[in-house]
């Protein structure tokens, strides 16, 4: 029973620390072994400082902890080399690297700010020009609208005048026909009158000699 108790404790401790994260302490290189003691062979001779490892089982008796390396392989490492936080040197390097990135980003952001400021000023000028164009377009639109209204009015007037012209044309054609008929009638009357006058003259010329009184001879009186 005494040999089983540490095993149960080891299993409970291992399950309680499943997927917990640890980091290599501030040592330059730490070896990884195939088992939980120095008697096991080294499978990785030098894990660099700041390497991120996934915690598996913890052997409190031997002081070793099972870990999963970044390449997916498992091994054992002395627990004293593990820390819950990254080492100061790694954190400092990360902070310095982040500062470089922030400095580069600061310059980039400043350049972008200058570009945005220039774009803003250009947009302001463009907005003023657009407003002026809009005002001119609105004025032209009002003029076109007034012209359109006048055009509609003129079109209605033209239609009315066209109708009146058509009516007048019809009347003129009717009057022309009446005039032509009257002319024909007048010419016919004049022709008849002339014919009658000629006929009357002939009749008179024929009857005139007969209508003259005859002179009586002198012998008839004696």
CB 30 within 8 A of CB 81: yes
Q: Which residues have a Cβ under 8 Å from the Cβ of 20 and sit 6 or more positions away?
A: 54, 55
Whether 203 is covered by a domain: the verdict is: no
63 and 19 in a common domain? yes
How distant, in Å, are the alpha carbons of 17, 20, 33, 97 from that of 87? 21, 17, 22, 15
Largest Cα–Cα distance of the chain, in whole Å?
221
How far, in Å, CA of 111 to CA of 115, rounded?
6
Instruction: Dump pLDDT digits (tens) for 188-211.
Output: 777 777 777 877 777 777 776 666
Q: Which residues have a Cβ under 8 Å from the Cβ of 9 and sit 6 or more positions away?
A: 60
Instruction: Dump pLDDT digits (tens) for 64-97.
Output: 999 999 999 999 999 988 888 776 777 777 788 8
pTM (2 d.p.): 0.34
Whether 109 is covered by a domain: the verdict is: yes
Which domain, by its residues, includes 118?
87-163
Name the domain boundary from 61, 86, 111.
86
56 and 70 in a common domain? yes
Q: How many domains does the chain have?
A: 2
81 and 91 in a common domain? no
72 and 92 in a common domain? no
């Amino acid at each position: 029973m005494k040999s089983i108790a540490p095993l149960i404790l080891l299993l409970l401790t291992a399950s309680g620390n499943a997927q917990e994260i640890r980091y290599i302490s501030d040592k330059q290189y730490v070896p990884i072994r195939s088992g939980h003691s120095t008697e096991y062979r080294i499978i990785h001779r030098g894990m660099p400082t700041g390497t991120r490892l996934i915690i598996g089982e913890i052997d409190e008796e031997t002081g070793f902890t099972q870990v999963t390396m970044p390449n997916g392989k498992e091994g054992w490492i002395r627990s004293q080399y593990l820390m819950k936080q990254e080492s100061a040197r790694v954190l400092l390097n990360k902070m310095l690297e982040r500062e470089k990135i922030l400095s580069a980003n600061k310059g980039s952001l400043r350049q972008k700010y200058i570009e945005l400021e220039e774009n803003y000023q250009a947009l302001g000028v463009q907005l003023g020009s657009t407003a002026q164009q809009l005002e001119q377009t609105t004025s032209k639109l009002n003029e076109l609208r007034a012209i359109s209204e006048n055009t509609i009015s003129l079109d209605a007037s033209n239609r009315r005048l066209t109708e009146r012209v058509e009516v007048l044309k019809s009347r003129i054609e009717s009057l022309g026909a009446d005039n032509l008929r009257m002319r024909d009638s007048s010419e016919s009357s004049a022709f008849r009158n002339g014919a009658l006058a000629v006929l009357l003259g002939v009749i008179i010329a024929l009857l005139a000699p007969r209508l003259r009184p005859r002179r009586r001879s002198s012998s008839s009186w004696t």
